[in-house]
């Protein structure tokens, strides 16, 4: 199987009103980097690819057959406190303050300008989330 660079087996694809503004928000608030885009004949975004490290999220302006949708995302960052301040300063709504979690992450949550939830997390340990039993 061949995958394009920056893509995973599962890649989120978000249909969002005002996709142009949403792409700018992802870059400003969450550190995304636009990797490419294609436009529809009306000039709106048909597909924009936003990179977050080794992951990609695709964005599109909705249409009648593909309405706007909401989702939740788990984003790992180097510094959760700094990333949360940046997200909120860029227009995200704080829904959970950053705190240390029992599963080894320092995490907080925001709702973005399109209503999606982003759990912004910093891993504090190299231990796995779940220990498997033999």
Digit-coded pLDDT (tens) for 30-52:
999 999 999 999 999 999 999 99
Distance from C-alpha of 66 to C-alpha of 8, rounded to nearest angstrom:
22
Q: How many CB atoms lie within 10 A of CB 108?
A: 24
- Is pLDDT above 80 for 95? yes
In a domain? residue 68? yes
In a domain? residue 49? yes
Measured at the CA of 72, the angle between CA 68 and CA 76, to 5 degrees, comes to 130
In a domain? residue 73? yes
In a domain? residue 5? no
In a domain? residue 133? no
pTM of the predicted protein model: 0.90
Residues 6 or more apart from 126 whose CB is under 8 A from it?
none
- Is pLDDT above 80 for 129? no
- The boundaries of the domain holding residue 59 are 13-123
How many structural domains is the chain composed of?
1
């Amino acid at each position: 199987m061949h995958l394009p660079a920056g893509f995973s087996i599962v890649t989120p694809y978000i249909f969002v009103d005002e996709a142009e503004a949403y792409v700018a928000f992802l870059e400003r608030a969450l550190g995304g980097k636009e990797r490419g885009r294609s436009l529809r004949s009306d000039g709106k975004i048909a597909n924009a690819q936003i990179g977050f490290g080794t992951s990609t999220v695709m964005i599109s302006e909705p249409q009648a057959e593909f309405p706007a949708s909401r989702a939740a995302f788990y984003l790992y960052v180097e510094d959760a406190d700094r990333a949360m301040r940046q997200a909120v300063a860029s227009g995200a709504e704080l829904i959970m303050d950053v705190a240390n979690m029992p599963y080894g992450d320092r995490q907080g949550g925001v709702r973005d300008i399109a209503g999606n939830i982003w759990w912004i997390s910093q891993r504090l340990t190299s231990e796995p989330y779940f220990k498997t039993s033999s």
